[in-house]
């Protein structure tokens, strides 16, 4: 087993300018927000150019990194002293961070281009592109920072950008509520990450990845401390990546414009949790209990997301359940350790392509169907939207693991690795693949095939080239990228300097006819066949049947919202009412009572002040008599 390479200071070359990856989209966001309405006509072009420029910097940095020996591919780029004695603001350019940077800027730029057409009639298109740029900049800061403090700044920036974009159409109450829900649920995860950072600082005295790599193995921290840090980091990852039990925000986030859904699910927000777990592998490898919990959470979420996806008629929410499930596969692999890291990130990258492809394809369908999202009102769209249909079907084949497409190599790699690690987890992952075959086939059959169930005012048509060209590019990646990354362990070898892993002669070979692989293909085929029987060959009713208890269970997101309401919201409401009662009757009662007592006493004493001199003289005489009497009494004792 190889250890990660040492992080060395960078000197010279384009990598020294890698900060431009963050600065360019951040500058674009600032320019568009401060420029105001004067930039409305061409502001979207600025947003696209800034994202493409960041991609160019990432691509050149990647080429420069490839030109170095593997043991020299972890480069620290110092920027400035951020908090004296605590952390410097710097970047870490290594195989892990540059892989994310290419995905974020590459897929993100395609989503920017697509948005030109999708948002063409929106009066706030310029502001939308500003928020997209901000999202890209925040995610890049998250993955490129060389310490946890910079990572947390990007982490919170992603949360802010997601809030702004999910609630972009603020005139829709559902969008405003969804944005607030995403923001609040993510704060729960952020609290876990923040406490983990406090523990890291108090235990090891640093936030820097370079220093932690040297300190953690020799610090002698207790197993309890390492487990606590690992579980708290996982809590943060669950919030951002919508893993159980912090998944409730993800499906509601579909209220934002469709390009936002693609950006969140493919290139930015939900991938942040996987990045955090892999980057923090040092802690998880020292805490087997925390590692086991990561795999359990991953398997539970991949099954939960698949079950939810089986019952959704909203095309975007069906894809959201799919994302939840696929991120679960990545979490499962990340919890296995260095052998699983490469498959987790490889699947994350291929998923970025085919999931962006399908989300943007769903947006193209909505564009031609008057923003209708109910698949029961689609049907027969293939002949009138051929480019959208073909590219969407390619993404569909990739995600179900059709042989030789991207998902076949990356997801099957995760299943096989999980099977060697723990057969129970492996077979559960195989079951998840079968469910994926069903709900994704259901989506394709209900949308593009069968009887036309359109509304009378629907006039479906193909989207303009500015929307279909990104779909074509993404579909090409959905076909070929998986084989390129997995065969010959190309990506695993590339990633070893950043996260460690097996020696070259110990790396697993891809086995297309292994028992888990054949079982996966058989279950996927069975799921697709059942979907055809139910939704392809049979007539699909425009109104959803009531269904069984399990169907209702899935339609209501496994009662996740009801559980949160029972466990947290209602007790929180009662706690608030009790606090208000105590404040009103207790704290305010004491204060107001004291004030009333003083006021009443002063009101009575005020009557002594009559304003008459004779009254004052009589009072003085009375007082003097009392004093004299007291003196005489004392003197006679």
DSSP, residue by residue, 560-599: HHHHHIIIIIHHHHHHHHHHHHIIIIIIHHHHHHHHHHHH
Residue 317 inside a domain? The answer is yes
Q: Which of 499, 514, 545 is the last residue of a domain?
A: 545
**Beta 8-9 vs 75-83: how paired, if at all?**
parallel
Domain that holds residue 613: 565-636
Residue 166 inside a domain? The answer is no
Element (H, E) at 9: strand 8-9
Instruction: Indicate if 416 and 486 belong to the same structural domain.
Output: yes
Instruction: Indicate if 495 and 629 belong to the same structural domain.
Output: no
Residue 26 inside a domain? The answer is no
- What are the φ and ψ backbone dihedral angles of 502, each rounded to 5 degrees? -65, 155
Which residue matches tokens 């994202």?
51
What pLDDT sits at residue 114? 97
Distance (Å, rounded) from C-alpha 108 to C-alpha 93?
19
Residue 299 inside a domain? The answer is no
Q: Which of 487, 514, 545 is the last residue of a domain?
A: 545
What pLDDT sits at residue 628? 83
- What are the φ and ψ backbone dihedral angles of 462, each rounded to 5 degrees? -70, 145
- What are the φ and ψ backbone dihedral angles of 334, each rounded to 5 degrees? -65, -30
Instruction: Indicate if 618 and 487 belong to the same structural domain.
Output: no
Q: How far is CA 304 from CA 96, 269, 310, 399, 435, in A?
A: 28, 20, 10, 17, 10
Instruction: Indicate if 525 and 605 belong to the same structural domain.
Output: no
Establish how many alpha carbons lie within 13 A of residue 369's alpha carbon, considering only the half-sphere containing its beta carbon.
27
Query: How many other β-carbons are positioned within 10 Å of the β-carbon of residue 466?
Result: 14
Instruction: Indicate if 458 and 519 belong to the same structural domain.
Output: yes
The answer to whether 438 touches 531, Cβ cutoff 8 Å, is: yes
Q: Could you give the 3-state DSSP secondary structure of residue 371? A: coil
The answer to whether 201 touches 271, Cβ cutoff 8 Å, is: no
Distance (Å, rounded) from C-alpha 375 to C-alpha 443?
7
Instruction: Indicate if 488 and 367 belong to the same structural domain.
Output: yes
**Beta 87-93 vs 8-9: how paired, if at all?**
unpaired
Question: Tokens representing 592?
Answer: 């107001």
What pLDDT sits at residue 336? 95
Q: How many domains is the chain partitioned into structurally?
A: 2
Handedness of CA 263, 351, 56, 65 (dihedral sign): positive
Distance (Å, rounded) from C-alpha 288 to C-alpha 292?
6
Q: Which of 495, 513, 545 is the last residue of a domain?
A: 545
Q: Could you give the 3-state DSSP secondary structure of residue 47? A: helix
Q: Which of 370, 291, 371 is nearest to 337 (CA)?
A: 291
Distance (Å, rounded) from C-alpha 201 to C-alpha 213?
14
- Write down the pTM of the prediction: 0.90
Which residues touch 233 (CB under 8 Å, ≥6 apart)?
A: 192, 193, 196, 276, 277, 280, 283, 284, 290
What pLDDT sits at residue 14? 86
Distance (Å, rounded) from C-alpha 70 to C-alpha 2?
12
Instruction: Indicate if 433 and 477 belong to the same structural domain.
Output: yes
What pLDDT sits at residue 569? 73
Percent of the chain with pLDDT over 70: 99
What pLDDT sits at residue 566? 81
Residue 428 inside a domain? The answer is yes
Instruction: Indicate if 506 and 591 belong to the same structural domain.
Output: no
One-character DSSP codes across 440-473: HHHHHHHHHSSS----TT----PPPHHHHHHHHH
Residue 368 inside a domain? The answer is yes
Instruction: Indicate if 614 and 513 belong to the same structural domain.
Output: no
Q: Greatest CA span in the chain, whole angstroms?
A: 123
Residue 586 inside a domain? The answer is yes
Instruction: Indicate if 478 and 355 belong to the same structural domain.
Output: yes
Which residues touch 175 (CB under 8 Å, ≥6 apart)?
A: 166, 167, 168, 169, 255, 256
- For residue 24, list its beta bridge partners: none
What pLDDT sits at residue 548? 80
Q: Could you give the 3-state DSSP secondary structure of residue 358? A: helix
Query: Which portions of the chain are predicted below pLDDT 50?
Result: none
Distance (Å, rounded) from C-alpha 307 to C-alpha 439?
8
Instruction: Indicate if 531 and 405 belong to the same structural domain.
Output: yes
What pLDDT sits at residue 637? 64
What are the start-end ranges of the E strands in 510-563?
none
Instruction: Indicate if 393 and 359 belong to the same structural domain.
Output: yes
- Which ranges of 205-248 does DSSP label H, i.e. alpha helix? 209-219, 223-241
Residue 517 inside a domain? The answer is yes
């Amino acid at each position: 087993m190889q250890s990660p390479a040492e992080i060395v200071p960078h000197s010279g070359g384009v990598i020294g300018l890698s900060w431009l990856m963050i600065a360019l989209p951040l500058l674009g966001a600032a320019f568009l927000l401060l420029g105001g309405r004067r930039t409305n006509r061409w502001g979207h072009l600025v947003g696209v150019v800034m994202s493409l420029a960041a991609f160019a910097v990432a691509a050149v940095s990647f080429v420069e990194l490839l030109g170095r020996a593997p043991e020299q591919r972890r480069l620290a780029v110092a920027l400035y002293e951020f908090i004296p004695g605590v952390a410097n603001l710097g970047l870490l350019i290594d195989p892990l961070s540059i892989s994310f940077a290419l995905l974020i800027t590459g897929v993100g730029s395609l989503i920017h281009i697509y948005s030109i057409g999708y948002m063409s009639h929106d009066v706030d298109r310029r502001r939308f592109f500003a928020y997209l740029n901000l999202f890209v900049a925040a995610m890049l800061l998250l993955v490129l920072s060389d310490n946890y403090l910079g990572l947390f700044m990007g982490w919170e920036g992603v949360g802010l950008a997601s809030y702004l974009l999910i609630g972009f159409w603020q005139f829709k109450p559902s969008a405003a509520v969804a944005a607030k829900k995403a923001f609040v649920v993510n704060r729960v995860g952020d609290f876990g990450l923040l406490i983990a950072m406090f523990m890291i600082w108090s235990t090891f005295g640093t936030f820097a990845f370079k220093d932690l790599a040297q300190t953690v193995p020799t610090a002698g921290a207790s197993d309890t401390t390492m487990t606590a840090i690992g579980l708290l980091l996982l809590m943060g990852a669950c919030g951002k990546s919508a893993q159980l039990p912090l998944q409730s925000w993800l499906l509601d986030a579909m209220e934002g414009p469709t390009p936002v859904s693609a950006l969140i699910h493919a290139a930015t927000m939900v991938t942040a949790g996987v990045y955090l777990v892999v980057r923090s592998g040092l802690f998880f490898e020292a805490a087997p209990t925390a590692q086991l919990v990561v795999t359990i959470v991953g398997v539970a979420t991949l099954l939960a997301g698949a079950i939810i996806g089986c019952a959704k008629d909203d095309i975007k929410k069906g894809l959201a359940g799919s994302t939840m499930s696929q991120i679960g596969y990545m979490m499962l692999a990340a919890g296995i350790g260095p052998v699983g890291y490469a498959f987790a990130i490889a699947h994350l990258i291929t998923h970025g392509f085919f999931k962006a492809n399908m989300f943007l394809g769903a947006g193209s369908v909505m564009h031609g169907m008057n923003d209708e999202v109910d698949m029961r009102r689609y049907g027969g769209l293939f002949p009138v939207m051929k480019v959208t249909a073909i590219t969407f079907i390619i993404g569909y084949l990739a995600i179900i693991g059709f042989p030789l497409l991207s998902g076949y190599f990356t997801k099957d790699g995760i299943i096989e690795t999980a099977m060697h690690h723990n057969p129970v987890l492996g077979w559960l992952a195989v079951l998840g693949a079968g469910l994926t075959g069903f709900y994704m086939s259901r989506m394709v059959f209900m949308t593009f095939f069968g009887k036309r169930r359109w509304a009378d005012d629907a006039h479906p048509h193909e989207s303009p080239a500015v929307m279909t060209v990104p779909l074509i590019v993404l579909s090409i990646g959905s076909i070929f990228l998986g084989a390129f990354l997995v065969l010959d362990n190309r990506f695993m070898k590339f990633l070893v300097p950043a996260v460690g892993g097996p020696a070259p002669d110990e790396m697993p070979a891809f086995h297309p006819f292994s028992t888990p692989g054949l079982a996966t293909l058989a279950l996927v085929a069975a799921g697709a066949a059942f979907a055809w029987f139910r939704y392809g060959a049979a007539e699909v009713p425009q109104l959803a049947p009531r269904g069984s208890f399990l169907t209702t269970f899935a339609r209501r997101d496994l009662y996740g919202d009801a559980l949160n309401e029972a466990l947290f919201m209602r007790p929180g409401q009662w706690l608030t009412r009790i606090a208000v009662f105590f404040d009103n009757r207790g704290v305010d009662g004491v204060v107001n009572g004291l004030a009333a007592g003083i006021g009443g006493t002063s009101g009575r004493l005020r009557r002594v002040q009559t304003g008459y001199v004779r009254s004052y003289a009589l009072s003085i005489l009375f007082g003097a008599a009392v004093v004299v009497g007291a003196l005489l009494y004392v003197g006679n004792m």
